[in-house]
Structure 1
Amino acid sequence: MNYNKKPCGNRGITRRPNKLAAEISALTKIAAAVTTAAMIIPASVNAESEWAIEEVIVTAQKRTENINDVGITVNAFSGEQMKELGITNATDMAQHTPGLTLTEAAPNGIPVYTLRGMGFDDYSAASNSTVGVYVNQVALPYPVMTSGQMFDMERIEVLKGPQGDLYGRNSTGGAINFIPNKPSEDFGAGISLDYGRYDYTKLDGYVTGALSDTLQGRLAFTRTEQDEGIQQHIVTGEKLGKQNKTAARALLNWNASDSISVLFDLHAAKDDSDQWAQQAYKVTNVSGGTLTPVNPAELDPGSPRDAAWDLKPEKDQDSIGGSITVDWDINGNLSLTSISAYDRFERDDTSDWDGTSLEDFNIRNITEIDSYSQELRLSADGEGFSWIAGVYFSHDEVDEIYHAWLSDSGASLGAFGEVESRYQQETDTRALFGHADFDLNEQWRLSLGARYTYEERNWKGCTYDVDGGVAGLYEFQGIRKVGNVPFAQGDCSTIDGANGTVNLGTGYLEVTNAPFEDEMVTENVSGKITLEYAATEDILIYTTVGTGFKSGGYNGALANDVAQLTPYQEEETTALELGVKATLLDSTMQLNAALFHYDYRDKQVIGSVNTLLGPLATTVNVPRSEIEGAELEMQWRPMAGLDIKLGVAYLDTVVKEYESLSPVFTSFTNAKGAELPNTAQWQYNGLIGYEFPVADGLLIRAVTDFSYTDSYYNHLEGTLGNVDEWYVDDYWLVNARLALAAEDGSWEVALWGRNLEDKHYYHSSTFGTDTINRPAGAGNTYGVNFSYNWM
């Protein structure tokens, strides 16, 4: 879709025109295609009860419930659905979740989860996400820690809207719960082997069963290898795309007594793979310096497999952690849950941000994160009344070295080649939360939730001159340390420009340059009210009013001035939502819809501040913005064996108040009317699957799925002044799977293909110093899968 990107009026703001009619037409075409697919399959003579859609059980509200009885918008994927859809990572999951976008703020491996327009496009390892991520009920506080967790899953739940009254950590956008398979008393084991294009191999396995009368265990692992590189250097021919990933999880469930059970979770992961290389899209004078001389062949490649780099993008990541969950049934109605957890993450990654074979902007990140948490929950279930009350404690430590090479960059002005940011951050969080449900009568239920959070964050860091170039640059610009002392190689080069004074004797501007140290304390009270109305046994209508917040923080990337390190403040949102969940046509169709409106205050985005060296990047707050949208999901089984699923999300975002200082335009721009970043106006996803017997005990299942993501801007700056380099084009993806399986589920052989049309697409766009670049999505891949289960 080619939207008009020209500025409107004299505001310099790009707003996408209303394409509602065209999109409705597209939806009509999809519906027609689905109907045609249903018509060409022979119909059964008699309708049978097993046509009914299976119930999906979730724990979104910390108790086991049918997903359609929960007055909250939640998407859920079972382990079997993940296999059908080829969901092996969070990016795959986002393609099949209406309203969820997973992008990158930068090429350094930090994922950005954006749910219904609420996301945080920061590339610092020490930044918290607006979308909470939980594995086995344990919060992973930093997005960089979330890789390597998606294997041996029972299900994934995606909760939308502010969360905090039921979960340890608060979040403005929502929560993603990864729920692994638990140990069982009966013996079971399984293995799954994938082999695909580019010598791709993936081996998964598990074994579970009783170890004694009171002890059950489960051991699961995953191993991925890929020896043939998908990407190729345009100039040198070097290959890139090796995968070398291993992860394992051991679970022990101990029935200590009739009323007490203890779940031990120990997990570890290692990733020594290549990172995906950027594609340089355009040379631009972002840095204010001399443009980089780039080989023309390296600009805007026409294939997702073509790229260029001078520093090979690689990962070296290790994570290990564990948790102990104790459930105590005190008296049949009252129960106590304790979750004690520790996770450690380390990485030594390299990334080439500019996407060229020159040293324009290369990065090495050495990161260590330690996270400790303790959660206690007391819950009760009574006649027509239930409640949960909890306390949460956590302590996180982040240490990072952020090393940059910029010798060919205009930002260095030819004066220096290497700089290095080093920082330490410690965060202590304390919270009280509670949730209560009241059955007012047989049809009406009222839910109330509240949360109090206290957070203390300490930060210390500075950018250092590695090769003496910054010292020479400061001397050339007439900047020295207090006392007329010249800067030297190895000095802390983050200066306090705002408080510098001119030495009248020498004419030098004298500035302080000690490491920046700061502490910020945040206190917040948030709440939620939900009213549910069971119109019939099969139709639930709910409305929610709630508030959420995300704490502030610090810029952990390169900084030349203290102004870049001044903390950004907390953000808050007030959310209104109206939803309906309807089970129709004798339980063969499920139709869910939601309308929502968010009033967003002080949204955190990447922006700029004025320094002695001009506008430089940091994190800033947008005083006010609004989000509104709608979501629709349909699951339909019109006949035995035929499954049809459709999802649609519409999103409209607008900045109501913000003065933007652009690093591109070096001036303030009124950003009123701009769109929020990473917010596609339309998203579609769907699946058509048909299963039928071919012989005694044998089944064939054919599945095709698709997803569509509308165009959007990856940065707020993109909507200011027609910066179309940050405009991410819309794209369709189509996948397919054909399986022959035993009816009892003991074995399966399947052929699979992803991105069947070999689309060249990308989901984010960013800038280094002199180039706009973007990571292309993987092209067409295909392979075969074999799985076997011992039961």
Structure 2
Amino acid sequence: MKKAALALSIKAALLASMSTTAFAAEESAKVDESKLEKITVTALKRTQSIQDVPVSIATLSGEKFENMFAAGDDILTLATRVPGLYAESSNGRVAPRFYMRGLGNSDFDLAASQPVSIIMDEVVMENVVLKSFPLFDIEQVEVIRGPQGSLFGRNTTAGIIKFTSRKPSEDFDAYVKAGVGSYGLINLEGAMGGQIAEDLTARVSVLNQSKDDWIDNGFTGQKDALGGHEDQAVRLQLAYNPTADLDMLLNLHTRSYEGTSSVMRANVLTTGSNELNNLYDRDVVYYNGGMDLQDPSCEVVQNNANDCVILDSNPQAYDQDGWSLNINYDFGAFTLTSVTAMEQAEGRSKGDIDGGNPNGPGFIPFQSDTQDGADVEQFTQEIRLSSNGNGEFTWQTGFFYFDSDLTVITDPGFIPASTVNQTNETWAVFGQGTYALDDQTTVIAGLRYTEDEKGLTGYSAGFGADVEPVELSDGQVSWELMVNHKIDSDLSVYGRASNGFRAQSIQGRDIAFFGTPSVAESETIQSFEAGFKSDLLDNTVRLNGAFFHYTIDDIQLTAVGGNGNNVGLTNAGKGVGTGFELDSEIRVNENLTITAGFSYNDTELQDENLLIATCGSGACTPTDPLNENGEAYVNGNPFPNAPKTIFTTTARYAIPMNDNGELYVYGDYAYQGETNIFIYETEEYNTDGQFELGLRIGYIHYDLDMEIAVFGRNITDEDNLKAGVDFNNNTGIVNEPMTWGIEFKKNFY
């Protein structure tokens, strides 16, 4: 009786914490037999109900996921669509940077490591370029918050974003989706799968996406000079299941991308203010750099190409190929899993980094026109043994190997290009066990040992010589301990302690600017988390929440700025983060479904002696204490690009149309709270209250399995500051403009 009373009290408290909409759902639940969909995840490398996994997890799939990308946006659109998750880039579509619970890495170098790991179809995408592979024909996205060092290894101190593609099946199925919209948007996607021979199934998925250039270059007079892109990708999956004990899945994928790198906008912030000023025009930039010319020896002057043909402004192009082979063999008592993968990408980006020209608008003290190219190869191998069945004790253990080679060529424009080669080899052994103390309480413990080695060699054009080689090596133990207790079938509480590390890093970008490589030692994190998961009101309301606190020793930071725009790695003594996340879904009635999520992250750097160079132009206004050299003491500052709050909500209302279909309206809203863009604080480079709103109105015909919809992204045309460049002027990078379009989808079975 006491236990039942406790469960009832907790459920009542959870419901009381929700909006009045939940009470509407309570009344509807009495007469509505529809339920929320059960969600399964693989956060612990086993297929489980999300409600049974003692980890803070959010998922995206189906209509909610697909609608985000209707306007041709890339992986960065996930930013603020999940509580606790943020993303940005100053390198365009091919180098996204992710942050979770406030922890991330603002380094724009192509060799930068990140504490948020991206895993696509069971393969880690370590390099920033590999992380940008386009998302299409996706079954589900799992956002797994907090350190994941036990099962997934180093560089997961903040968490993991796990993408799972739709897999082949024996039954034939296919779909085609076509969308057109503003700025010449064309978004074509499709897939087809089924059995092609005995024991052999296949699925091929394709994406062909393009958007016209739409930003004018006011300096050269060229109309529609930049802003567009073309992205084509193909994925072929072959599944072979000759016996009940053996299954094999081969994944082949390729991508070809051409487009515009990040659009730097000079002097769009006025000294002393973080508001976009009257020099900002979304449709115009004034570039005299960042261009490919037909004749590199010619000079471009304002409004006169001087017989030079401008081929592109801020161009970016990358090709990426990869394959993976996943083999599972059931030995009865346990299953052997092998995941072998190879990834390769090559390309380059060029940009007018100062965002303008000496003649204005606004003052630019000197020109900066830089090109970076990368050639990356990555090989991974994981072998895992896992017990079968659901007995009192289950286990898994394995071995992981990673080897990568990255060559980066940086051309500053005023001297010949410099070349840096970085290698990374790592191996790890790991294990995890789950023990059911009784029907209600489960204990999970995991342990991993990792060896990580990195090396750097290169040639500095500035010094006209090879650089001194750098070699780093580190071995670390990561662990986690979780306890999950089911109060009843609809409510559970859990606690989790986890440890992880981000391996040491080498930064070689300054070699191209008369500098030397910098190094950051490994950072380690200790995290504590307590949460609950609940399905309420006859499974019409789902409410999950987690509270966390973490401490990072030797937190890795990338100091960018100063007169030379130097990029240097450093370690702060400590970083601390505290906060919580709430994820909810409410089936108000058979026609209305609402989701809502909220996160709060309070982060703080703790190092009284850490100094960071501020804006080299002197155009910004640091608010931190400064030393005699103008460097900022950043002790007590929040982490860079760590939104203090994120709020996201969606609502879908359907109107039945006889028995053959439905008309629906779907809206989504994402809010980003107070965010500091750099490590040091200024009056200019911080944001608060930014948001985007999306809308979709469509009709689904059940018998034809067909859908047609009108969509809008950023429908209020918000101008949101997403990133900045501080060394030359007050340059900013903003979000994508309002886009409207129409989309058609047809399924075949």
Q: Same fold (TM over 0.5)?
A: yes
The answer on whether the counterparts of 2:153 and 2:448 sit within 8 Å (CA) in structure 1 is: no
Give the one of 722, 727, 738 matched to 1:763. Answer: 722
Residue aligning to 1:649:
599
Q: Does 1:337 align with 2:344?
A: no
CA distance in 1, matches of 2:480, 2:691: 37
1:419 is displaced (CA, Å) by: 5.0
Residue 180 of structure 1 aligns with an amino acid whose one-letter code is S
CA RMSD of aligned residues (A): 2.6
Alignment match, 2:478: 526
Deviation at 1:744, TM superposition (A): 5.1
2:93, 2:132 within 8 Å by CA — same for their partners in 1?
A: no
Kept after mapping to 2: 8 A contact 1:624/1:658: no
Partner of 1:392: 400
Select which of 259, 264, 278 maps to 1:273.
Answer: 259
Counterparts of 2:190 and 2:565, CA distance in 1:
52
Runs of 5+ consecutive residues of structure 1 not aligned to the other structure: 1-27, 286-297, 406-416, 466-486, 493-513
1:288 alignment counterpart = none
Give secondary structure in 2 for the equivalent of 1:554: strand
Partner of 2:354: 354
1:345-395 deviation per Cα after TM superposition (whole angstroms, max 9, x unaligned): 101211221111357211111110000010000000351111110100111
Q: How does 1:774-785 map to 2 (within 5 A)?
A: 774-785=732-743
Whether the aligned pair in 1 keeps the contact of 2:264 and 2:732 (CA below 8 Å) is yes
Q: Match for residue 284 of structure 2? A: 306
Q: For 1:554, which of 506, 526, 540 is the aligned residue?
A: 506
Return closer, same or farther for 1:783/1:391 CA change in 2, 3 Å cut-off.
same
CA distance in 2, matches of 1:714, 1:428: 32
Q: Matches of 1:324 and 1:688 in 2, distance apart?
A: 39
Question: Which residue does 1:146 correspond to in 2?
Answer: 131
2:443 and 2:29 mapped to 1: Cα distance?
A: 44
Are the structure 2 counterparts of residues 75 and 347 from structure 1 closer, same or farther at C-alpha, using a change threshold of 3 Å?
same
Does residue 401 in structure 1 map to residue 409 in structure 2?
A: yes
Q: Is the 8 A contact 1:304 1:761 kept in 2?
A: no
Assess if the C-alpha contact under 8 Å between 2:169 and 2:201 holds in 1. yes
Whole-Å Cα distance in 2 between the matches of residues 423 and 156 of structure 1?
A: 34
Asked whether the 8 Å contact 1:279–1:300 carries over to 2, the reply is: no
Deviation at 1:520, TM superposition (A): 0.5
Matches within 5 A, 1:414-563: 417-418=414-415, 420-465=417-462, 491-492=464-465, 514-559=466-511
In 2, Cα distance between equivalents of 1:274 and 1:567: 31
Assess if the C-alpha contact under 8 Å between 1:615 and 1:661 holds in 2: no
1:176 to 161, 179, 192: 161
Aligned partner of 2:107 in structure 1 is 122
Q: Give the whole-Å Cα distance in 2 for the aligned partners of 1:694 and 1:602.
A: 60
Amino acid corresponding to residue 42 of structure 2 in structure 1: T
Per-residue deviation, residues 248-299 of structure 1 (Å, max 9, x unmatched): 00000001322111100000001011224111236999xxxxxxxxxxxx97
Structure 1 residue 319 corresponds to structure 2 residue 320: yes
Match of 2:300 in 1: none
Q: Measure, in 2, the Cα distance between the counterparts of 1:30 and 1:54.
A: 20
- Residues 155, 784 of structure 1: alpha-carbon distance in 2 compared, 3 angstrom cutoff: same
Distance 1:658 1:326, change over 3 A: farther
Query: What does the per-residue CA deviation read over 1:445-474, in whole Å, with 9 as the maximum and x for residues that have no partner?
Result: 100011100011111124313xxxxxxxxx
- Counterpart residue number, 1:675: 638
**Comparing 778-787 and 726-735, the one that deviates more:** 726-735
Q: TM-score, normalised on structure 1?
A: 0.82
- My pick for the range that moved more, 667-676 or 574-583, is 667-676
Give the whole-Å Cα distance in 2 for the aligned partners of 1:445 and 1:253.
34
Residue matched to 2:571: 621
CA offset at residue 91 of structure 1? 1.9
Structure 1 distance, partners of 2:17, 2:182, is: 32
SS in 2 for 1:72: coil
Which of 694, 708, 712 matches 1:753?
712
Structure 2 equivalent of residue 6 of structure 1: none
The AA in structure 1 aligned to 2:285 is A
Name the structure 1 match of 2:623. Answer: none
State TM-score, norm by structure 2.
0.87
Alignment partner of 1:211: what SS? strand
Match of 1:631 in 2: 581
Q: Give distance in 2, aligned partners of 1:374 and 1:670.
A: 43
The 3 A distance-change label for structure 1 pair 336 and 360 is: same
Q: How far apart, in 2, do the equivalents of 1:71 and 1:249 lie?
A: 33
Q: Give the distance between the partners of 2:284 and 2:674, measured in 1 at CA.
A: 23
Measure how far apart 1:30 and its partner are: 11
Cα 1:300–1:544 shift into 2, 3 Å? farther
Identity fraction in percent = 25
Taking a change above 3 Å as real, the CA distance of residues 184 and 615 of structure 1, as seen in their structure-2 partners, is: closer
- The 5-angstrom pairing of residues 146-225 of structure 1 reads 146-167=131-152, 170-225=155-210
The answer as to 2:322 corresponding to 1:328 is: no
Larger mean CA deviation between 599-608 and 195-204 belongs to 599-608
Structure 2 match to 1:78: 61
Corresponding position of 2:250: 264
Aligned partners of 1:45, 1:253: CA distance in 2, in Å?
42
Classify 1:745/1:84 alpha carbon distance in 2 versus 1 (closer, same or farther; 3 Å): farther
**Residue 41 of structure 2: which of 38, 58, 68 is its match?**
58
Local SS of the residue matching 1:60: coil
Q: Is the 8 A contact 1:282 1:771 kept in 2?
A: no
Tell me if the contact between 2:22 and 2:588 (Cα under 8 Å) persists in the aligned partners. no
Distance between the aligned counterparts of 2:194 and 2:252, measured in 1? 17
Closer/same/farther in 2, CA of residues 645 and 592 from structure 1, 3 Å limit: same
Structure 2 residue 237 is the aligned partner of structure 1 residue 230: no
The code of the aligned residue for 2:99 comes to T
Aligned mates of 2:210, 2:662 — CA distance in 1: 30
- How much does 1:169 deviate? 5.2
Distance 1:624 1:701, change over 3 A: same
Distance 2:401 2:30 in 1: 57
Deviates more, 1:661-670 or 1:630-639: 661-670
CA distance in 2, matches of 1:267, 1:658: 48
Aligned to 1:756, the other structure's residue is in SS state coil
- Cα shift at 1:616: 4.0
Alpha-carbon contact 2:59-2:142 (below 8 Å) kept: yes
**Map of 1:98 onto structure 2:** 83
Q: What is the alpha-carbon distance in structure 2 between the residues aligned to residue 682 and residue 581 of structure 1? A: 21
Structure 1 counterpart of 2:96, one-letter code: P
CA 1:609/1:352 → structure 2, altered by over 3 Å: closer, same or farther?
closer
Question: 2:304 is matched with which residue?
Answer: none
- Write out per-residue CA displacement over residues 404-452 of structure 1, whole angstroms, 9 at most, x where no aligned residue: 13xxxxxxxxxxx335331001111100111111101111110001110
Indicate if the aligned counterparts of 2:200 and 2:241 stay in contact, CA closer than 8 A. yes
AA in 2 matched with 1:260: L
Query: Quick one: distance in 2 between partners of 1:745 and 1:164?
Result: 47
1:593 is matched with 545
Deviates more, 1:338-347 or 1:553-562: 553-562
Q: 1:85 deviation in Å?
A: 3.8
Return the offset for 1:45.
Answer: 10
* Count of residues paired in the alignment: 681
List runs of 5+ in structure 2 lacking aligned partners.
1-15, 291-312, 359-365, 615-625
Taking a change above 3 Å as real, the CA distance of residues 264 and 709 of structure 1, as seen in their structure-2 partners, is: same
Q: Is the 8 A contact 2:90 2:262 kept in 1?
A: no
Deviates more, 1:584-593 or 1:419-428: 419-428
Partner of 2:667: 704
**Residue 617 of structure 1 aligns to which amino acid in structure 2?**
V
